[in-house]
Amino acid sequence: MIQEKERLCRNIEKREEIYSRISQKIWEYAELGFKEHRSAKLLQETLEREGFQVETGLAGIPTAFKGTFGSGGPVIAILGEFDALPGLSQKPGTDVQEKREDTDCGHGCGHNLLGTGSLAAAVAVREYLDRSGKPGTIIYFGCPGEEKGSGKTFMAREGCFKGLDAVFCWHPWDVNGLFASSSLADICATFIFHGKASHASASPHLGRSALDAVELMNVGCNFLREHVIPEARIHYAITNAGGNAANVVQETAAVYYEARAPRLNQAFEIFERICEVARGAAIMTGTSYEMVRGDGFSDYIPNKVLGKVLMENFQEAGAPAFDHADHELAEKIRDTFSEQMIQEAAAAVENQHGENAAAAMEGKVLADIVLPVNPLKSTMPGSTDVGDVSYQAPTGQILTACKAFGTPGHSWQEVSQSGSSIGKKGMLTAAKVMGMAAIDVFRNPKIAEDAKKEFDAAVRGGYHCPIPEEIKPDL
């Protein structure tokens, strides 16, 4: 390992206690999306103390912020998240499901680690820039409302990530490796049908049922499902069934739709067909409808040049070194999983990292290896707002082991481990790998040039935000 990277790793290790404390505080706060005031403040104060210039209220969101250090290019950004999930209150570091008394929320996606690990990387890179005297800028982006709110999509809509040379991010996971998969673009909207109320028995001919329209729209979309690309997903939920009186023709009813596809333009195409089905349902039932767009996500475009840099450094830094106590806790937590959950985890590893990776993880409770990159292209069957960042700047993302293999996302088991030393070890590994990768980009600007070339080719059609201008973040 070159001396500069060794120094960077030592810098992170030296401040281990500080980062543990910050991540534990954010874990305790367990604030929901766009309400992460205390968590954001803690991160901002730390950045300011470290010499970063902090700007708050990005994209009109009070808890969105950035901390900038340095001047000139390359400009490298590291993304942090810090929002929790509702209904996941859980005590830390235990294999027993037990709620905390002081909150109903919990860090079931490990974003307390995510926000802090990225901060640790940014601070260590700042020290490198300071010492080396190299030109360059490091920016920490505080990205709120990931779980429900599409925070980064709103930030991207305002152009927050435009012009960055490289973006690095990570996510707590149950294995170590590159997030080389793409994800699905997602467009959401609510369709509200308006009919005429009437006595359903005495004068049904005078009524026009909005509920009929919702039902026919759903039937139409269920038939549509066969005639879209197989990777696409169409989901719906009836959000207003028009009341619970069967003897009244339902005047108003509403249904919420999501159209997902591997690329944003494909999702838009499918969404337009869904709108046509809604129009058809309104015509059939003599009702009218309005469509209210909601959140959305672009697909994630992993940048291969940045991915390669991340992987080289991940191999060098190695997997987190878990100790005996970590293994003991992980084993007890694993005892709470069903056999099917473990099989699902193996299938997910195979999808994301390839066949060899699944075999390599067999029998392991905590991931002590860095998995190879899947030679085949794969798509994660979900959506992330990092996708919108990847449409504005070359983006590379890693995963580090912060929980027992097979721990499902958004579970009490994950909340417990996000507040344990298992999570913190994975967090520091992520900080090192992202920081080392940033050093490579600062030392060799050709990396940024190559990443940009690849990026330009991948987003040739430009960026069309999946959230229209009139939709405001749900603060």
Q: Which residues bind Zn ion (CB under 5 A)?
A: 109
* 252-261 vs 185-194, strand pairing mode: antiparallel
Q: How close are the terminal C-alpha atoms of the chain, in Å? A: 45
Give me the residues paired with residue 109 across strands.
none
Question: Least separation, in Å, of the C-beta of 304 and Zn ion?
Answer: 23
Question: Least separation, in Å, of the C-beta of 11 and Zn ion?
Answer: 26
92 or 108: whose CB is closer to Zn ion? 108
Question: Least separation, in Å, of the C-beta of 111 and Zn ion?
Answer: 6
208 or 403: whose CB is closer to Zn ion? 403
Q: Is 142 helix (H, G, I), strand (E, B) or coil?
A: strand
Question: Least separation, in Å, of the C-beta of 321 and Zn ion?
Answer: 24
CB-CB contact of 31 with 114 (8 Å): no
Return the structure tokens found at 64: 């969105």
85 or 216: whose CB is closer to Zn ion? 85
84 or 448: whose CB is closer to Zn ion? 84
CB-CB contact of 115 with 65 (8 Å): no
Question: Least separation, in Å, of the C-beta of 407 and Zn ion?
Answer: 13
93 or 409: whose CB is closer to Zn ion? 409
Question: Least separation, in Å, of the C-beta of 429 and Zn ion?
Answer: 17
Q: Is 384 helix (H, G, I), strand (E, B) or coil?
A: coil
Q: What angle do CA 391, 392, 395 make, to 5 degrees?
A: 75
For residue 408, cis peptide bond before it (omega within 30 degrees of 0): no
Question: Least separation, in Å, of the C-beta of 115 and Zn ion?
Answer: 11
CA distance 19 to 42: 11
CA distance 11 to 277: 58
109 or 254: whose CB is closer to Zn ion? 109
131 or 410: whose CB is closer to Zn ion? 410
112 or 137: whose CB is closer to Zn ion? 112
* 252-261 vs 233-240, strand pairing mode: antiparallel
Q: What is the DSSP secondary structure assignment for residue 372, as one 8-state letter?
A: P
CA distance 313 to 433: 6
CA distance 109 to 21: 18
109 or 305: whose CB is closer to Zn ion? 109
212 or 385: whose CB is closer to Zn ion? 385
Cα torsion 412, 413, 416, 422 to 10°: value is -160
Question: Least separation, in Å, of the C-beta of 169 and Zn ion?
Answer: 11
Q: Which of 7, 145, 127 is nearest to 65 (CA)?
A: 145
192 or 399: whose CB is closer to Zn ion? 399
Residue type, 141: F
CA distance 250 to 267: 31
Phi, psi of 245 (to 5 degrees): -100, 115
Question: Least separation, in Å, of the C-beta of 38 and Zn ion?
Answer: 19
Phi, psi of 346 (to 5 degrees): -65, -40
* Cα-based distances in Å from 462 to 156, 279, 299, 459: 13, 29, 13, 5
CA distance 338 to 344: 10
Q: Which of 90, 125, 126 is nearest to 109 (CA)?
A: 90
Q: Nearest to Zn ion by Cβ — which residue? A: 109
Question: Least separation, in Å, of the C-beta of 438 and Zn ion?
Answer: 22
109 or 138: whose CB is closer to Zn ion? 109
For 391-444, where are the alpha helices, taking DSSP H only? 412-418, 421-443
Q: Is 318 helix (H, G, I), strand (E, B) or coil?
A: coil
Question: Least separation, in Å, of the C-beta of 85 and Zn ion?
Answer: 9
Question: Least separation, in Å, of the C-beta of 383 and Zn ion?
Answer: 11
